[in-house]
Structure 1
Amino acid sequence: MCPPEHFTVEYTINPWMDTTVAVDAAQALKQWESLRTTLVDLGHVVHVLDARPGLPDMVYSANGAFSVDGTVYGARFRYPQRADEAVAHQAFYDTAGAWRFVAPQHVNEGEGDFAYLPAAYGGIVLAGYGFRTDPAAHAEAQEVLGRPVISLRLVDPAFYHLDTALAALDDRHVTYYPEAFSEASQRVLAQLFPDAVLADRADAEAFGLNLVSDGRHVVLNTDAVDMGHKVRAAGYHPVHVDLSELKRGGGSVKCAVAELRPAQR
């Protein structure tokens, strides 16, 4: 995670960003700290990246890379305003040890457009494209990670990253908003995950799919009340955290958390 010490909305690169509404920086930092504390209280180790001046979106640390079993596929951002974030994330993996970092040739935005399900079909990667990540990055990620990559086309600008439209609930189950995807991608998802928890547009617009799950606890923002009911009905325990300020930049819980998947020992 990376604290929102320099978080502002000073440019517009997604439909949720509004430069005319000021961000409450103190409130953003307070809400971020609440999320960090929640994850720690649930038993997770949280590594914190230093925030860097001039990178207001660095708080959305999920976009910086994508790791699977100790291999890290680096990010290459679509927009120049965020390009230097990739360098900061690479520095973390280079110094943390036990990671094999591979720099990308193609544009991709890390876990923003990649999700991993280690127990589904022997371990598969779901990958989004249509707004940020180039489809060529999917093939590149497959070569780097050695896992099958399933390409899914996003068609609604409001859900510009995969992690705004789909989330892993555990190692083999997902939840998603069907209409965020093309008809063909909807058919693929229905075939792969017939028991998925289906979200509606209200859930997605509340950033209810921008969640983090450890397989039991599902951490999601406080606005996603109905989504909380759905994951509870599916057997998970919802944990709500207020991230109203971070939503001003087009992200919520998942955007703020890069999940680390070290090599299996």
Structure 2
Amino acid sequence: MTVTLAPHTAPDHHGRTSRPRRYLMCPPEHFAVEYAINPWMDPARPVDAARAMRQWDALRRTYLDLGHAVEVIPAEPGLPDMVFAANGGLVVDGTAYSARFAHPQRAAEGPAYLGWLRAAGLRGVEAEHVNEGEGDLLVVGDLVLAGTGFRTAVAAHDEVRALFGRPVVTLELVDPHYYHLDTALAVLDDTTVAYLPEAFSAASRETLRELFPDAILAKARDAAVLGLNAVSDGRHVVLAAQATGFAARLRERGFVPVGVDVSELMKAGGGAKCCTLELRV
């Protein structure tokens, strides 16, 4: 589904400006927790598939209500984690860099997403090295912050640097609960991020301090409900409704938090951002 994007909005009194975005999402038609490839997943824990679908659709409608475009890739049988569209690739300037998943259970998602992106008219480039798309590759202005430690290989960072001609900053994750960069760091606008310091190695914490001295430092209790797995349009920040402390910090900094409940999808280790791939065309 595609909607027409509205013009850029004027800055609010804090100077925060929302910019219409274009997102790709995948409905959780086959969502289940059938294996455990991160600490959040427990196949013995019941999953309510109907509730997951309602929560996903509420997230989709939230984006539409904020004036963004949402396109939907069909879910494929046998791929219960395909709902986590952010992992499906990285799209910058009309070029789509494909995902190459670390675990065999998700391997078929890479070609599925790349096929859709090519069919949508984007230039599709197949990755040579293991990476999990926007799960570990986050665009901040002209930079790409690139996570490693659990899923994405450092060699993929070099691929991204060569493909997009942008500076790529490697950040090492050290806590398996924050196995993707987008679970430990949220991009809020072109110069502002929020992150959980203890999710990163000492060297990467120093890098983040140097790059983003005014970053919001998240509390462990907010990160533990995947509050940092958030989607921002520069003013509105869509995040887990349970991350109330982080929401308060966002308000203090002039952002508008928009809480959503994706607790059923969290049983597989994903939140709002995991469900959302930005199409930068």
TM-score, length-scaled by structure 1: 0.96
Q: For 1:206, which of 225, 248, 251 is the aligned residue?
A: 225
Q: Which runs of 5+ in 1 are unaligned?
A: none
Match of 1:35 in 2: 59
Q: Does 1:191 align with 2:215?
A: no
Q: Does 1:111 align with 2:117?
A: no
- Paired with 2:175 and 2:147, the residues of 1 have a C-alpha distance of 12
Secondary structure at 1:256 match in 2 = coil
- Paired with 2:123 and 2:190, the residues of 1 have a C-alpha distance of 22
1:105-184 matches, within 5 Å, as: 105-118=128-141, 123-184=142-203
CA RMSD after TM alignment: 0.6
- Paired with 1:117 and 1:71, the residues of 2 have a C-alpha distance of 17
- Paired with 1:93 and 1:219, the residues of 2 have a C-alpha distance of 24
Moved over 6 A (4+): none
Secondary structure at 1:136 match in 2 = helix
User: Partner amino acid for 1:94?
Assistant: R
In the TM superposition, what whole-angstrom CA distance separates every residue of 1:58-115 from its partner, at most 9, and x where no partner exists? 0001000001111211100000110111111111111111x22111000000000011
Check conservation: 1:3, 1:48, Cα contact below 8 A: yes
- How far residue 17 of structure 1 moved from its aligned partner, in angstroms, is 0.3
- Paired with 1:71 and 1:148, the residues of 2 have a C-alpha distance of 16
User: Partner amino acid for 1:251?
Assistant: G
User: Partner amino acid for 1:153?
Assistant: E
Match of 1:50 in 2: 74
Aligned length: 257
Q: Which runs of 5+ in 2 are unaligned?
A: 1-24
Match of 2:125 in 1: 102
- How far residue 130 of structure 1 moved from its aligned partner, in angstroms, is 0.2
- Paired with 2:242 and 2:40, the residues of 1 have a C-alpha distance of 15
- Paired with 2:114 and 2:97, the residues of 1 have a C-alpha distance of 10
In the TM superposition, what whole-angstrom CA distance separates every residue of 1:20-53 from its partner, at most 9, and x where no partner exists? 1111000000000000000000000000010110
- Paired with 2:32 and 2:128, the residues of 1 have a C-alpha distance of 29
- Paired with 1:260 and 1:167, the residues of 2 have a C-alpha distance of 17
Match of 2:28 in 1: 4
Check conservation: 1:73, 1:145, Cα contact below 8 A: no
User: Partner amino acid for 1:212?
Assistant: V
Secondary structure at 1:5 match in 2 = coil
Match of 1:260 in 2: 279
Identity of aligned residues (%): 58
- How far residue 232 of structure 1 moved from its aligned partner, in angstroms, is 1.0
Match of 1:73 in 2: 97
TM-score, length-scaled by structure 2: 0.90
